[in-house]
Structure 1
Amino acid sequence: MTLTLALFAALSAVFIGLVLALLVLADRQRRRHVARLMRLRPDKPEAAVATKRKARPTYGQAGIIRFIERQLVQTNLRVNVVELLVQVSLGILALYSILVLLAGMTPLLAIALAVIVPLGAAALFIRVAKTRYRAAFTEQLPEALDVFARGLRAGRPISDSLGIVVDTSKGPVQREFSRCRDEMCMGTTLPDTLAGLEARIPTAEISFFSVATSLQAETGGNLIETMEALANQLRERRKLRKKARALSSEARASAAILAALPFAVGLSVAFLNGAYLAPLYTDPRGQIMSGIAVSSIALGMFMMTRMGKLDV
């Protein structure tokens, strides 16, 4: 019990230190934002020069923060890095307390699980959010390109055509194209703006849109026909993707049924005769067998999911 209390106190101290470090990082992030605003002011040349000198690539903790920022930018989550790290820290502390004080787990194993589970859950949540955000953007992109082409056909410049897309769209398309329009209004060149869009949404559709628009704008080609052809191509690709998803629905349903079948049978047996399955989680040999079985099921689910997923 003394060891448990000591580990709990040590983890609490680490949590407090992490919170203080996050507050320091939040202050640094605020200072960086202020420095960026100062660089845009022409009446502060000294501040701009000093900021440029400080703006050097850093590694370690700052690199991790920037990596998390890049991941959050690719989602529609209304949370910053500091809030995310605080929530993960609270989850680690809460899970450790539950495992040690309520479940009676050993402190070393509880620390490992308390760190792995919240971090894994946060990474999985961000990945799912990124996938859904990209899918929603790609779904709305053909219609946005049609509106963009109509604006160009009416004689509007690229920035005004982007403004028309922003006014007539919603969701991820409105957010991303609004950011592109604002960047161009602030003086960013079209290739740099589209490169930033491609970095936030790294899909094949955006890559083609970025390259085609940049080349046509620089060489003076027919950008209207290019946008219309791209919109038609994206529609055909969307139809093909839906058709492939319909054809692979049987494989995905089979994977779900086969994955749920062992757990359904296990729950039924546990409900009818709970002592029959007790050796699987009370005996060390049963625990090893249970771990191997769950790992095999997870591997089978992964393989069947990959086999039923067609990249179109």
Structure 2
Amino acid sequence: MPPDSVLPVGVAFILIAIMLALFTTFRPHYKDIKISRRRPSSAQDETSVISRLSEVTVAAVEHRFGPGISGPFGRDALGGAGLKSTASEFIVLILSASLVLGAIGLLIQGLLLAFLFAAMGPVGAWLFIKAKTGRRQAAFEGQLSDMLMSLSGSLRAGHGVAQSMQSASAEMPAPMGEELARIVNETRVGRPATESMAEVGRRMQCEDFEWLSQAIEINREVGGDLAGVLDHVAETVRERAQIKGQVRALAAEGKFSAYILVALPFCVAAFINLTNPGYMSVLVQNTLGWVLIATGVIMMAIGSIWISRMVKIKF
């Protein structure tokens, strides 16, 4: 390795180590009982400097923005994605990642690459949350039919709605089990079950679950066989899921074509830059080239949004 590159590589490794330490510090807090609580020890563990620094930083962010942080990295967004971290912890983690990535970009090339690398922190976190939320919503929708069958069976066995929902929350895996447990807990503190169910349906963007809350509310007012109503709802949900699967299969070709159209310019530019670097360097050597790059990026963004709206089918 050349002597001139030893220092940047060393600094980069140090920054990566700091980032890993911050990630370990701000990792999600799980509800498991700590070993120290099950086995009390005489001496208390000393808090490390990084832990104290992280606690102070998180407290400062929470004091600045308040406990109910909203937005793409707020409490609702993290809850929808199934993340256990608080909003202030996640924001501090994003800022730390942006700082480390910006420093790496500054060491590699200069200020422009540093800004680009720093922007990868919030953009990557937003994409991560969107992907987690989408997978969680899809899993929730896929578990709805089984949950309705479990709820109907408990009602036929003579249990009430609250008790049936509690047993279903214990039987169903995440995310359905977690959301049902939240409904049960909110019902215990006095909130109507149908209101909690409607909120879960809106948060998970599941129209079928909102229909379920309306069906339970109507049955509570007029009476009747709720188990039979749930059987009909479960049958409707299964039919809708079958139709959605057929539509997704038919739209898969269009989505794949859209992905190719969006990725093709970037792949061609990267290939040309690797095979003939001087051919692409003209764009970054004068103002007109930067204007063309910015115009191309804006047009690609508009085209990508347009194509994504065309291939996205709502039911």
TM (norm. structure 2) is 0.73
- Distance in 2 (alpha carbons) for counterparts of 1:64 and 1:79: 13
Q: Quote the residue 2:94 is aligned against.
A: 88
What is the CA–CA distance in structure 1 between the aligned matches of 2:165 and 2:70, rounded to whole Å? 28
Q: Shift of residue 116 of structure 1? A: 4.7
Q: Distance in 2 between matches of 1:115 and 1:258?
A: 27
Does residue 146 (structure 1) correspond to residue 182 (structure 2)? The answer is no
- Cα pair 1:190 1:214 within 8 Å, conserved: no
Secondary structure at the counterpart of residue 66 of structure 2: helix
1:23 aligned onto 2:59: yes
The letter for the 2-side match of 1:94 is: V
Question: For residues 88 and 19 of structure 1, do their structure 2 counterparts lie closer, same or farther at Cα, with a shift above 3 Å needed?
Answer: farther
CA distance in 1, matches of 2:164, 2:109: 60
- What TM-score do you get using the length of structure 1 for normalisation? 0.73
Aligned equivalent of 1:191, options 175, 186, 194: 194
- In 2: Cα distance, 1:169 partner to 1:157 partner: 18
Tell me, what secondary structure is at the counterpart of 1:65?
Answer: coil
> Structure 1 residue 261: deviation in Å?
2.3
Tell me the distance in 1 between the aligned counterparts of 2:55 and 2:310.
Answer: 44
- Shift of the alpha carbon at 1:87? 0.4
| Code of the aligned partner of 1:83 | E
Structure 1 equivalent of residue 231 of structure 2: 228
Contact 2:184–2:193 (8 Å) recurs in 1: no
For residue 216 of structure 2, what is the aligned residue in structure 1?
A: 213
The C-alpha deviation readout for 1:197-246, integer Å capped at 9, x for no partner, is 23532431121111211221233233222211111111111111111111
Once the two structures are aligned, what percentage of the paired residues are identical?
26
Change (3 A) 1:305 1:66: closer
Aligned to 2:220, what secondary structure does the other structure show?
Answer: helix
Shift in Å at residue 152 of structure 1? 0.9
Distance in structure 2 (CA, Å) of the matches to 1:289 and 1:19 = 45
Out of 253, 261, 269, the position equivalent to 2:264 is 261
Residues 53-92 of structure 1 correspond to what in structure 2 (within 5 A)? 61-62=65-66, 65=69, 68-92=74-98
Q: CA deviation at 1:79?
A: 1.6
- Which 5+ residue runs of structure 1 have no aligned equivalent? 1-16, 29-59
Q: Distance between the aligned counterparts of 1:183 and 1:143, measured in 2? A: 23
**Structure 1 residues 283 and 80, CA gap change in structure 2 (3 angstroms):** same
Distance change >3 Å, CA 211–CA 79, structure 1 → 2: same
| Separation (CA, whole Å) in 1 of partners of 2:196 and 2:303 | 43
For 1:95 and 1:259, the matched residues in 2 are separated by 26
Secondary structure of the equivalent of 1:248?
helix
- Is the CA contact 1:248–1:308 (under 8 Å) kept in the aligned structure 2? yes
Deviations 1:149-186 (A, max 9, x none): 11112211112211331233212111111222233344
Structure 2 regions of 5+ residues with no counterpart?
A: 1-52
1:78 Cα deviation after fit: 2.6
Residues 165, 174 of structure 1: 8 Å contact kept: yes
Question: Which of residues 279, 284, 287 is equivalent to 2:290?
Answer: 287
Shift of residue 125, structure 1, vs aligned partner: 2.3
Matched, 1:174 2:177: yes
* Whole-angstrom CA distance in 2 between matches of 1:196 and 1:296: 38
State the Cα deviation string for residues 40-94 of structure 1 (Å, max 9, x = none): xxxxxxxxxxxxxxxxxxxx82276255112222121132223201101202322
Q: Structure 1 residues 18, 177: closer, same or farther in 2, change over 3 A?
A: closer
1:271 is matched with which residue: 250, 254, 274? 274
How far 1:148 sits from its partner (Å)?
0.6
1:201 matched to 2:207? The reply is: no
Task: Please say if 1:125 is aligned against 2:128.
Answer: yes
Deviations 1:11-49 (A, max 9, x none): xxxxxx9974522566x7xxxxxxxxxxxxxxxxxxxxx
**Per the alignment, do residues 189 and 257 of structure 1 end up closer, same or farther by CA in structure 2, a change over 3 Å counting?**
closer
Q: Is the 8 A contact 1:159 1:185 kept in 2?
A: no
Residues 70 and 303 of structure 1: CA distance in aligned 2, closer, same or farther (over 3 Å): same
Matched to 1:120, the amino acid is: V
C-alpha RMSD over aligned residues: 2.9
Shift of 1:187: 4.3
Q: Which amino acid aligns with 1:69?
A: R
Closer, same or farther in 2 for the Cα pair 1:96/1:146, shift >3 Å? same
